[in-house]
Amino acid sequence: MSTTTLIDNAPIIAAPTSTKVHLVGMGRDDISEELLRIGIEPKKVRMRTKQIFHWIYNYGVTSFDQMTNIAKPLRVKLEAAFTLDRPEIVERLISVDGTRKYLIRMSPGVEVESVFIPDVSKTGALCVSSQVGCTLTCTFCHTGTQRLVRNLTAREIVLQVIIARDDLGEWPTTQENRKLTNIVFMGMGEPLYNTDMVGDSLDTICDPEGLGIGRRRITVSTSGVVPEIGPMGARTGAQLAISLHAANDELRSQIMPINKKYPLKELMQACRDYPGLSNSRRITFEYVMLKGVNDQPWHAKQLIKLLRGIPCKVNLIPFNPWPGSDYVCSDMETIKSFSDMVNAAGYASPIRKTRGQDIFAACGQLKSDSEKKRASTLRKEAKLAEN
């Protein structure tokens, strides 16, 4: 691995210490509720919400004094009740290839990772987490070895975007040539086990008066929680990605236990029924290349048959190893011939470039140590109790 990776462990923003209510990350309705609570005249709440929302999400302000269209006495009142602090960034790593990984402490013992991946073109995607850990246990995935700590709230999902925007210096939203243009729910966790919060977070992330990221630029990736696929599409208007990884039930159930609950036939039907599916809004199927497991020509043939009639492309992901993993990545030659076969059948089949591997930020490598922290906290508490 390269030695030029920049490791920056210094918190960029100090941990919030106040007990004030945190506004950053909240949606419009919650902000309105808070304003009512502190006694803002009900008929003015809508207008004030609009102003504050715009300051937080368009300008990224960090102090109420920056809200210049709000009179000083009200700013003082807001300051007394609320804070615009961000959560603590426990660790920030920058890869030699420009990928940035953030470990964010949302609350004591709850740490999440998000990864910013700049593209060679003008775009860049932020890979966000929807849960801390995951209840599913896909055998090739590091997150799958971490038990679920909890679902993230909508606010905590939005905060991941805010932190990346802060770090990239991309305020205001109207700034031209922003690099953070897309959001992918491909971090820790299964977004379709947390659909309400994913949906609510997108209302804020996609709001044109706020963070302003278009719904077409959002991709939600699922391991295949069939009953949630259609409703999520209708609720969010997001692009769908399916972690497929195998085209027959026997193999898929072995490497992705969720397949036992929702087998391929049901999964593919949910894909065919995905709201808004068309040639310009294709589904992405992700397929991790595991040497000797799912990478043979007959696997490619099965895959092609399975995809028949679905507007889609296939992203081939070279397996990213993690400590203790049982798999090996397929040889590049094997991946290329697999890709050629899928391409020849009429499906775009790019091989995903592995990014951020020197900072352990590649697909499937995320695993916070929230679990360990909790265990050590428990030990400390036990010791205190003993004394």
Pick the binder of ligand SF4 from 95, 223, 239, 370 (CB under 6 A): 223
Asked if residue 211 lies in contact with residue 205, where contact means CB atoms within 8 angstroms, the answer is yes
Toward ligand SF4, which CB reaches closer, 173 or 259?
259
* Catalytically annotated residue among 127, 134, 206, 363: 363
143-202 positions binding ligand SAH, by CB under 6 A: 186, 190
- Residue 67 or residue 226: which is nearer to ligand SF4 going by CB? 226
Give rounded-to-5 percent helix, strand, coil for the chain: 40, 20, 40
Say if residues 140 and 324 touch (Cβ distance below 8 Å): no
35 touching ligand SAH, by CB under 6 A: no
- 113 given a catalytic annotation: yes
The answer to whether 123 touches 187, Cβ cutoff 8 Å, is: no
Interface region with ligand SF4, contact rule CB under 6 A, candidates 63-71, 134-142, 212-220, 376-384: 134-142
Distance in angstroms (rounded) separating the CA atoms of residues 358 and 33: 44
Footprint of ligand SAH on 286-315 (CB under 6 A): 286, 288
Handedness of CA 96, 97, 103, 104 (dihedral sign): positive
Bridging pattern class, strands 100-107 and 283-289: unpaired
In this structure, the dihedral spanned by the alpha carbons of residues 137, 164, 213 and 310, taken in order and rounded to 10 degrees, is -30
Residue among 173 and 339 whose Cβ is closer to ligand SAH: 339
Per annotation, catalytic residue among 113, 156, 170, 190: 113
Question: Order of strands across the sheet with 124-127?
Answer: 6-8, 88-94, 100-107, 110-118, 124-127, 182-185, 218-222, 239-243, 283-289, 312-318
- Binding string, residues 332-371; x marks residues near ligand SAH by CB under 6 A: -------------------------------xx-------
- For ligand SAH, the binding residues (CB under 6 A) are 140-141, 186, 190, 221-223, 243, 286, 288, 317, 319-320, 363-364
Q: Active-site residue numbers? A: 113, 363
- For ligand SF4, the binding residues (CB under 6 A) are 134, 136, 138, 141, 143-144, 189-190, 223, 243
